[in-house]
Structure 1
Amino acid sequence: MYTTLITPEQLSSLPPAEVVVLDCRFQLDNPDYGHAAYEQGHLPGAHYLHLDYHLSSSKNGRNGRHPLPDGQRLAVDLGAIGVDAATQVVAYDDGPSQYAARAWWLLRWLGHEKAAVLDGGLKAWLAAGLPLDQAPPARRSRRFAIRPSLAATVDADAVLANLQTPAFTVVDARSAERFHGIGETIDPVAGHIPGAANRFFMNNLDAEQRYKPAAQLRAEWEALLGAGFDPAAIVHQCGSGVTACHNLLAMEIAGLPGSRLYPGSWSEWCSDPARPVAR
């Protein structure tokens, strides 16, 4: 069972009947990109899941850019492509794995432990000399039952209350520039949640965009948050609850499980002018 990362070689050796592969390619400035790229070539048997349509729910202007999907609907979508309790699920994209990490986290949110991210994504798969396919994947509908969640969340009210009575540390996964309110081009307000720490999600990766070794990740997280910190007292956020999942996965790899996600993240937080902003 793979619960964090899987290599291309490990994935290629799994029996196809026991694994479902999720292609999560996406671009914020071109929402149609992922599916078009998928049709040009994808991992054999992979199913495409769209960040906006499958891995998020509808926006209302107050709930962030990528609100969590309806869990029951996502469970139906997963069952329709062959995921049940026994299925190993592997997610990938063609970048630094932030969209794959979102899918990984959502599966854990629904109580599915057998979920992993393809380390290095599409680039690593091709570098290993493994093939792509253009054929539509076979569908084998199964029942995906939601089980007790393996991924906890907090909401905006809890984050606001935490400013007055600190009970956890917020870690922002955005770049240092966006964290400090410099060059904001995505959200209408620049800055960060007061008191938050900053860990750019790209710092979890090496030069080949693979996750750093567990010991190195652990040392870097402890350098940021202090040796012996309690992961349960960490809440991750980013711009819209996507790249924060990258940091959640990095902590799992590092042997630091139990941190939580603020799904609405900065895009939800800054939608209410009554909430304080730091720069």
Structure 2
Amino acid sequence: MSNLITLEEAFQKLKLGKTVFIDTCFVFGRPELGYEGYLQEHIPSAVYFHLDKDLSGPILTHGGRHPIPSKEEFARKLGEAGIDNDTHVIVYDNEAGNVAARCWWLLKYFGHKHVQMLNRPLSHWKEAGYPITNEIPSPDVKKYIAIPNELLTVSMENVRTHLHDKGRVLIDARKKKVYTGEENTKYPKIGHIPGALNYFWEVVLSKEGVFQEGEQQLKTFQAIPKEKEIIVYCGAGVTACPNILALTEAGYENVKLYVGSWGDWTSYENNLTECGESSL
């Protein structure tokens, strides 16, 4: 099963009534706008997962802005959404793979095997004439058993220890000027983790905003050998996830998320950074 699903395929699943849709629409900088938009319109029967409240754990001194939630808390929320380990789940957002990919990754991390992401944003669903509603669903509560897969993530210590490992590739999913250090952010340091390559997460989308299929993703990441271990990070562990999904679709099998990402890396005063561009 592909990790992506088209509008028509998703609509057919909706008609069958056996799939749970998760709306993850979110506006960075205005975190309540996504939920407000969901209250106004969403795919029928879709439940809403908030990036900060549902797809992240508590913020601590280290660990970045979007730590992984506890398995107990996430399992509870999935169960309340009518999701058990056998439920087919389709996630979507308003950017075809920003926050939705984070939700997809979390479900994978916690052992779910039947999750796909809509390959287009909600706006495309509407433009195509598929149904929209403002009715809030009341799903039957189910039990989800969360089994974390630690092979899908790496810690800061792991990244630091293997910083110059020839068998590993670091990918920075932030926009280029942030990666090179030309543009400052709210983090205490500029630049990127030494040796990281830059693939801004939007490269996985077409000009029309469609998440591209595996063949095109393979062209995007063709410079990266498939036998390498790939570690992807961004600013806060969210926009790295579209790259992870894209790499997975392209056939890369050893792809991991540095969940804490740049926010975690720069919270340690002695961690090295560099500006400019890196290469393999």
SS in 1 for 2:140: coil
Partner of 1:175 in structure 2? 175
The one-letter code matched in structure 1 to 2:263 is: S
Report if the CA contact (8 A) 1:151-1:260 is conserved: yes
Residues 240 and 270 of structure 1, relative CA distance in 2, 3 Å threshold: same
Report the CA distance between 1:27 and its aligned residue: 1.5
Closer, same or farther: CA 102–74 of 1 in aligned 2, 3 Å: same
Whether 1:263 and 2:247 are equivalent positions in the alignment is no
- Runs (5+) with no aligned partner, structure 2: 276-280
CA RMSD in angstroms comes to: 1.6
- Provide the rounded CA distance (Å) in 2 between the counterparts of 1:254 and 1:165: 23
Answering whether residue 120 of structure 2 is matched by residue 123 of structure 1, we say no
- The alignment partner of 2:154 has SS state of coil
Cα drift, residue 28 of structure 1:
1.8
Aligned to 1:13, the other structure's residue is in SS state helix
- Measured after TM superposition, the shift of residue 165 of structure 1 is 4.6
Normalising by structure 2, what TM-score?
Answer: 0.93
Match of 1:103 in 2: 103
Q: Is the 8 A contact 1:111 1:150 kept in 2?
A: no
> 1:203 and 1:165, CA in 2 relative to 1: closer, same or farther beyond 3 A?
closer
Structure 1 residue 155 corresponds to structure 2 residue 152: no
Residue aligning to 2:139 = 139
Gaps in structure 1 of 5+ consecutive residues: none
Report deviation, 1:150. 8.4
The amino acid of 1:189's aligned partner reads: K
What residue number does 1:229 align with? 226
- Find the counterpart in structure 1 of residue 188 from structure 2: 188
Q: Is the 8 A contact 1:120 1:209 kept in 2?
A: yes
Change (3 A) 1:150 1:124: farther
CA gap 1:265/1:150 in 2 versus in 1, 3 angstroms: closer
Aligned residues: 274
Q: TM-score, normalised by structure 1?
A: 0.93
The aligned counterpart of 1:7 is: 6
Confirm or deny: 8 A CA contact 2:20 2:89 kept in the other structure. yes
* Counterparts in 2 of 1:20 and 1:48: CA distance versus 1, 3 Å: same
Please state whether the residue corresponding to 1:132 is helix, strand or coil: coil
Amino acid at match of 2:108: R
How far, CA to CA, are the matches of 1:260 and 1:211 in structure 2? 20
Q: Which of 145-154 and 118-127 deviates more?
A: 145-154
Deviation at 1:68, TM superposition (A): 1.1
Measured after TM superposition, the shift of residue 61 of structure 1 is 2.9
Aligned to 1:53: 53
| Secondary structure of the corresponding residue to residue 102 of structure 1 | helix
Match of 2:94 in 1: 94
Task: Name the structure 2 match of 1:240.
Answer: 236
Pair 1:82 & 2:82 matched:
yes
Cα distance in 1 for partners of 2:93, 2:195 equals 32
Query: 3-state SS of the aligned residue for 1:91?
Result: strand
Match of 1:215 in 2: 215
Is contact 1:113–1:150 with CA below 8 Å preserved after alignment?
no
Q: Percent identity?
A: 34
- CA shift, 1:72, in A, is 1.8
